[in-house]
Amino acid sequence: MSSSPESHSGSKLIQIWQAITRTVLIPVLAVFTALIINAIIIRVSGGDPILAYLGLWEGAFGSPKAISETLVWSTPYIFAGLSVALAFKGGLFNIGAEGQLSFGALISAWIGFALPKLLGTSLPWIIHLPLALFGGILAGALWGAIPGWLKARTGGHEVINTIMMNYIAVLLTSFLLNGPLKDPNPFNVIARTPEIAESARLTPLIEGFRVHWGIVIALLIAFAVGWFLWKTTLGFEIRTVGANPDAAKYAGINVSRIIVLTMSLAGGLAGMAGAVEVIALNYRQELGFSIGYGFDAIAIALLGRSHPLGVVLAAILFGAMRSGATRMQFLTQIPVDIISVVQALILLLVAAEEIVRFIYRIKAPKETVVLTRGWGG
């Protein structure tokens, strides 16, 4: 006996509501709950949570300069978040974004300061700038391709491999910045490269502010990633492998190729984060320049449900918290480390969404047979 149109329509509405709940409502409530818990922690420790959050808002959005700083912080978060999200869509866990970002920044800086010396002549910006940017992208892609190839060929888990690649990238960068690539200036005691040439620099977006064209590039890349995943054959293959590699293989998709390609693309996005930091903000590679962008990107991708739009919004949230933390500390004397507590709580609540469902009495969807796998939505 066929179902009535009314029951079919009702079932459709339930499915839509469940999708909205999981992709929008749960992350929003997770952020809200994390802020409430953090307010309790601040109060118990003797601080004023209202003043703290007012300071946080003022430091992040209270003035044009504050907004500029928020966007500066958000830029690498967008690139790195997209890196982790893309890997999630392919059923892979890219914990190596930090190493890919660091290696991309290193190569971008080397191209920026060393290439004109090697060639014995200056380069026009229309050649030098793209070379520095794409050099960082290719370096990150290579760093991501290695664990992808190891997984495809040997079955080695990408989590272990990317963690090890992080260590290699950090230690290799430390060696080079303290040795062959260290700024030879006799007054320099910091592990960093010389400044890149003017021709390899990305100009500020607005004169007098630190916000740069990198934020525009990041938004365009987010749009491009969304288009790639949902509008191209290759994007469909990546999502299919992420959902069910056995079914993808049965359908004729080369799963090993897709794994390597996915990790390469993810690494390239993380490498772009490092490259943009070099050519648009720091104008050199410096040891410890990343405050953990690659690791925070995991929380950003989870909070954004591995969707480019969600990643952009989550990245702006994390950027705002980082930007506003200094003002919050100035007003309340609360250490800026409290922001890391908020981020950890958000990650916990998003990853374990049943906690949020229990607190707000949101019914979980009826259990069904799960035929797919993947990370981050």
b/e string for 66-92 if b means 16 or more Cβ within 10 A? bbbbbbbbbbbbbbbbbbbbbbbbbbb
Residues pairing with 212 in the sheet: 204
DSSP string, 180-213: TTS---TT--SSBPPPPPGGGPPPBSSTTSS-BT
Share above pLDDT 90 across residues of the chain, in percent, rounded to a whole number: 71
Write out pLDDT tens, residues 309-367. 999 999 999 999 999 998 898 888 888 888 888 888 988 888 888 888 888 888 777 65
Cβ neighbours around 205 below 10 Å, total = 17
Nearest Cα neighbor of 109 from 166, 191, 210, 31 is 191
Give the lowest-confidence range in 111-115, 190-194, 372-376.
372-376
Say how far apart CA 91 and CA 239 lie, in whole Å: 8
Enter the tokens of residue 204. Answer: 């500020």
Residues 6+ apart with CB under 8 A from 305: 22, 23, 27, 376, 377
DSSP string, 67-90: HHHHHHHHHHHHHHHHHHHHHHHT
Nearest to 302 by CA among 59, 22, 34: 22
Please say whether the dihedral angle defined by the alpha carbons of residues 260, 263, 265 and 268, taken in this order, is positive or negative.
negative
Counting Cα atoms < 13 Å in the Cβ hemisphere of 307 gives 11
Number of Cβ atoms within 10 Å of the Cβ of 16? 10
Q: Mean pLDDT over all residues of the chain?
A: 90
Residue identified by tokens 């390597």 is: 260
pLDDT in tens, 29-72: 999 999 999 999 999 988 899 999 999 999 999 999 999 999 99
Distance in Å from the first CA to the final CA of the chain: 35
CB 135 within 8 A of CB 196: no
Q: Which residues of 112-150 are buried (b: 16+ CB within 10 A; e: fewer)?
A: bbebbeeeeeebebeebbebbbbbbbbbbbbbbbbbbbb
CA–CA separation, 162 vs 375, rounded Å? 16
Ranking 2-11, 49-58, 95-104, 293-302 by mean pLDDT, the lowest is: 2-11
Lowest mean pLDDT among 126-130, 173-177, 371-375: 371-375
Nearest to 93 by CA among 204, 259, 231, 289: 259
Domains, the chain, ranges and CATH? 59-319 (1.10.3470)
Q: Quick check: 283 pLDDT over 50?
A: yes
Burial class (CB in 10 A: 0-12, 13-18, 19+), 47: middle
- Full-model pTM: 0.92
* pLDDT tens digit sequence for 87-142: 999 999 999 999 999 999 999 999 999 999 999 888 999 999 999 999 999 999 99
Lowest mean pLDDT among 28-42, 79-93, 215-229: 28-42
376 in Cβ contact with 355 (< 8 Å): no
State yes or no: pLDDT of 4 exceeds 70: no
Q: How many residues does the chain have?
A: 377
Residue 376 pLDDT exceeds 60: no
